[in-house]
Structure formats: C-alpha cells, structure tokens
Structure 1
Amino acid sequence: MGTGMTMVNIAMITIGIVECYRLKCAQKDCTNYGESSSLSIFWQVLQYTFVGASGVFMYLGQLEFFNAQAPNELKSSGSTLCMTSITLENHVSSLLVTMVMKISIEDHMSRWIPGNLNRDHLDKH
C-alpha cells in the first residue's frame, strides 16, 4: 500500500507538470475560446499509468489485508467490505465535487470546473 501511495504522489507531480505545459500551449494556440489546443491527448498517458498502477497496489493491498484479517468463514464478507469501501470513496468524491460546483454557481462566481478549461483556469481559483 505504501508503493501505491508513492505512485499517487508521482502521478500528482506528473499531472501538475502536464497541466502547466497544457496552459502554456492553450495560451499560445487558442486565441479564440472555441478553438482546441494542439497538445496531443497522449501527454496524459504517463499520468494515467501512474494513477492506474497506484490503484492496483492500493486496492490489492487493501483486499489482501481484509482477506488476511478475516476468519475463513468471513472471507467473502471481507472482500465485500473492501469493494464497498472503494465504492463509497468514489461516491463521496463525486458528492464533494457536485457540492462545490453548486455552491460556486450560487455565489455568482465562475464555475469551479468550467466547460472550457482554456477559458477559465482551475489554478486561478
């Protein structure tokens, strides 16, 4: 699980570097907001590789922990509990993003996650 946490940190650093480069390309290439950037989608491959690998290490480690700690009669319950916790993580994350979006729209601010990232940057909020 420690390897998974390390890989998440590497992924976040990679995401930050790619986003800085994307912003520079968007400022240079996109004079109109309707235009798209010339930056290739393949710049995201490395960051998604790190995120995917970290998920494998984290979820397999978590599943192994649940299976190792549960008695033989409750192994399937441990696996179910592991998958339920992963599902809850995803739902809470989605709920938080939805709440922040609704709050930011009600205060007449620009949206937190705009429809066009070249028009409004997340780094300026």
Structure 2
Amino acid sequence: MLAAAIVEIKRLQLAKELDLVDKPVAIPLSVLWQIPQYFLFGAAEVFTNVGQLEFFYDQSPDAMRSLCSALALLTTSLGNYLSSFMLTVVTYFTTQGGNPGWIPADNLNKGHLDYFFWLLAGLSILNMLVYIVSAKKYRKKKAS
C-alpha cells in the first residue's frame, strides 16, 4: 500500500504539472511504475497463503484438516467483502458536504486515492501488531 500511495502521489503531481486535473484524460505515466506494488503484493500473497495453509494443516486436529483448509480460502473471500465495505464507508464519509471525495467516480485526478492507500497501509500496520500479539500468545499443538 505504501508503494501504491507513492505512485499515486507521483501521478497526481504529474496531473497538476501538466494541467490535466480538470480534464478526464489519462495521465502520461508509464504502467511500469506499478511493478513494485504488484510484485510486493504478489509476494505477500504467496507467503501468506502458503503459511496459512501450512498452519491450518499442521495445527488443526486430524479430523478437521480439510475443513481448516477450506477456512483458509474463506478468509480470502471475507477479506474481499471487507474491502468492498471499507471502500463504501470511505466513499460515504469523504463525499460529505459536496466534496468530490477520495475516490471520485468521474475523475480520479480530482480525488485523493493516495489517502485511501495510506489508510490501508495504516490498517495493515495495525493488523501486523495484532498478529504479533496473537502469535506471542499462541501455544503450538503438541506433536501426536
């Protein structure tokens, strides 16, 4: 999310420099600027999914291994629903009072998508702190 926020800041700066903020046109910024964020996101997904499946398979009771593997996929779908809900909430609160909001539907150049990425980065840091506390409290299943 940090990489996405930085790319969005660069895109908005370029839109202002070229006086394209009020025009619904594409900003002349190479798509290659998105490589770092997609690389980081893809690597994070791989490590998370593999670790999550391994944890559920290794730490669950033998009779529940299939169910726990299915729960790993369920967390992904719940995360997608949560993302949609967060987007709706952010759009609702940032468009109050006639403001275009962080994520305007008609012209992204008038919005602040970077603020949304910073919000997601902050929530990710908070999530990491909760994970660290939970991981320290977790007691591993005894080997059978």
TM-score (norm. length: structure 1): 0.76
Q: How many angstroms apart in 1 are the aligned matches of 2:115 and 2:51? A: 37
Alignment of 1:62 with 2:52, yes or no, is yes
- Unpaired runs of 5+ in structure 1? 1-11
Q: Match for 1:43 among 33, 37, 40? A: 33
AA aligned opposite 1:17: I
Q: How many angstroms apart in 2 are the aligned matches of 1:124 and 1:87? A: 25
Alignment of 1:23 with 2:9, yes or no, is no
Q: How many angstroms apart in 1 are the aligned matches of 2:11 and 2:70? A: 40
Could you tell which deviates more after superposition, 114-123 or 49-58?
114-123
Instruction: Indicate the structure whose relative CO is greater, using CA pairs within 8 Å and at least 6 residues apart.
Output: 2
TM-score (norm. length: structure 2): 0.67
RMSD: 2.2
Report runs of 4+ in structure 1 exceeding 6 Å deviation.
Answer: none
The residue number in structure 2 matching 1:120 is 111
- Unpaired runs of 5+ in structure 2? 117-144
Q: Secondary structure at the match of 1:118?
A: helix
Q: Provide Cα deviations, 1:63-113, integer angstroms capped at 9, x if missing partner.
A: 110000112221111101111122111111211211332344454332331
